[in-house]
Chains A and B, each alone.
Chain A
Amino acid sequence: MRRFALISVPYIWLLALFLVPFLIVIKISLSDTVISIPPYAPTLTFSEGWGGIVAFFKGLDFETFEFLMSDDLYWKAYLSSLKIASIATFMTLLVGYPIAYGMTRAAPEWRPTLLMLVILPFWTSFLIRVYAWMGILGQEGLVNQALLWLGLIDQPLVILNTPTAVYIGIVYTYLPFMILPIYSALEKLDDSLLEAAEDLGCSKLSAFWLVTWPLSRNGIIAGCFLVFIPTLGEFVIPSLLGGSQTLMIGKVLWEEFFSNRDWPVASAVAVILLLILIIPIVLFQRNEQKQREAEG
């Protein structure tokens, strides 16, 4: 009885506030847009009995999804989100790997401090970290001031409100997610393996490629997914740094809902985004499980 109560409280909470809301999203994505309150049809009415329920299910169709397919905007937004997320993930890896590597090469007594310095930004407001770049990348921002002062450019570069600013924002905010898993993979690396490789005639660089890189692969994979998955549906970075030039699906969803008040389209956009995300999420879970089994 006590066990039943223990299980049922969090279970019912999650059913009511996670699963049911999601079913509502799917339902509304199959509904039609109408001008009324609520702005979609059909709505489920139990007062009409069985006939009402039948009529409700007959009213559902895939029209909204057909609309999404036919309109360029949505296709382009999904593709551009996938492109931005992939390139940004790769850039984060390029920036994050040397930092993680350097941390494991630092003296042991320094490592906890370095680790804390990586985690600290994670506790700082995401919004503020994105906002910090608005002042740096703007027309009169520090980057342009520095470049003008150095004489490298004649007039300020347009960086803010372009995809470049979005890439910088993503790499900056998600960097700790890339560094931490790679660091924990590299930290377990046995140094004698590298020494053995060098004794057997490897150069430092080829020892890195043949020993260190493959052994840190799990950390790299985990880090890439931890960056890629949240970036795909990102809203704050494209709306503060991307301007109107950057098309990302999280922003499209937001605007469909808040500006256009088109609930069925917003819901359908959400359903397709989730279908796209299922693949990387499943791959990520598999990688984690493989790692756990290898350790356990």
Chain B
Amino acid sequence: MRRLSWFNTTALTLGFAFLYLPMIILVIYSFNASKLVTVWAGFSTKWYGELLQNEAFLDAAWVTIRVAVVSSTFATILGTMAAYVLVRSGRFWGRTMFSGMIYAPLVMPEVITGLSLLLLFIGIGLDRGVLTIVLAHTTFSMCYVSVVVSSRLVSFDQSLEEAAQDLGCTPLESFFLVTLPIIAPAVLSGWLLAFTLSLDDLVIASFASGPSSTTLPIKIFSAVRLGVSPEINALSTIMIAIVTIGVVTASIVTKRNAVRQQRDEQMAERAGE
């Protein structure tokens, strides 16, 4: 066992303090009784109560969740199809352009993606609202999904699919019975990624939304532009809590699955001897 040198210990301590202190401070100040965010005036949960009565925030949160669920589901379907095409379809006309269109949105500045989609929606006369935000989010998240899923598909043993088809499956059946269960973890993490991207997005949603459809990030942004507010601290704390619980649960589940898989493999090996 190597021991950590003082340098590495300092680097890790300072590094993780830098990453986490701002968020911890935010959480602490959400329980501050004072309206002044910088002065501590005792513990209170009143900002959470006020938040729950703020209809504008609740409406925006509801719009955001609906948009995220729908767009991440479409993005997962389209992104998985795109990944399959990229990894399996070999050559076809316009392949380079296709893979270019998959990777370009990943590096495209959000302001440009937002602007271009808005100009399209206006050009075809589509009223801006929930639908346009869904279309915009689906488009950029499907590219992230396809990157995640295709990295799993590359290492997938194609002979399993061939075996299923030899045993009488149609290509579609072999996809749903053999391929999909195996790549399911990647598809699921693609969906989660798309969902979070949609929940977080401010810039593209601002371009794609109309007056009747405000998402939570748009609402938060216009509130914090005026300065720090304890209500936003409370809202941030709730969001940080949800994410933390989600990520910690996911990592525990993955770890448990990995342990189980290892045990299964060892048993299979022993059975083979």
Q: How far is the CB of B11 from chain A (nearest CB, A)?
A: 4
Interface size class of B (residues with CB under 8 A): 35 or more
The interface residues of chain B lying within 8 Å CB-to-CB of A230 are 107, 109
A24, B84: Cα distance in complex, Å: 29
Q: Which residues of A contact B39 (CB under 8 A)?
A: 140
Given contacts A10-B142, A233-B109, A277-B107, contact A120 B200 (CB under 8 A): no
| B119: nearest chain-A partner, CB-CB | A24
B contacts, CB < 8 Å to A: 1-2, 4-5, 7-9, 11-12, 15-16, 18-20, 22-23, 25-26, 29, 36-39, 78-79, 81-82, 84-85, 89, 92, 94, 98, 101-105, 107-112, 115-117, 119-120, 122-123, 135-136, 138-139, 142, 146, 171-172, 196, 199-200, 202-203, 207, 217, 220-221, 224-225, 227-228, 232-233, 236, 239-240, 243-244, 246-248, 251, 255
Q: Determine the main DSSP class of A at the interface with B.
A: helix
* CB <8 Å contact, A24 and B221: no
Chain A interface (Cβ within 8 Å of chain B)?
2-3, 6-7, 9-11, 13-15, 17-22, 24-25, 28, 38, 95, 98-99, 101-103, 105-107, 112, 114, 116-121, 123-129, 131-136, 138, 140-142, 145, 172, 175, 229-230, 232-236, 239-240, 250, 253-254, 257, 263, 266-267, 270, 273-274, 277, 281, 284-285
Q: Which applies to chain B's interface (DSSP): helix, strand, loop or mixed?
A: helix
Min CB gap B270→A, angstroms: 26
Instruction: Known A2-B171, A127-B217, A230-B109; judge A21-B116 contact (CB<8 A).
Output: yes
Task: Decide if B111 touches A235 in the complex (CB within 8 Å).
Answer: yes
- A106 pairs with B37, CB closer than 8 A: no
Lowest 4 A-B CB distances belong to which pairs? A233-B109, A99-B15, A21-B116, A98-B11
A175 CB contacts on chain B under 8 angstroms? 18-19
Q: How far is the CA of A204 from the CA of B94 in the complex (A)?
A: 52
User: Are A18 and B25 closer than 8 Å at their CB atoms?
Assistant: no
Q: Say how far A129's CB is from chain B's closest CB, in angstroms.
A: 7
CB pair B78 A9 closer than 8 Å: yes
Contact status B38-A140, CB under 8 Å: yes
Neighbouring B residues of A277 by C-beta, 8 Å: 107, 109
Interface pair A21/B117, CB less than 8 Å apart: yes
**Bound CA–CA A10/B80 (angstroms):** 9
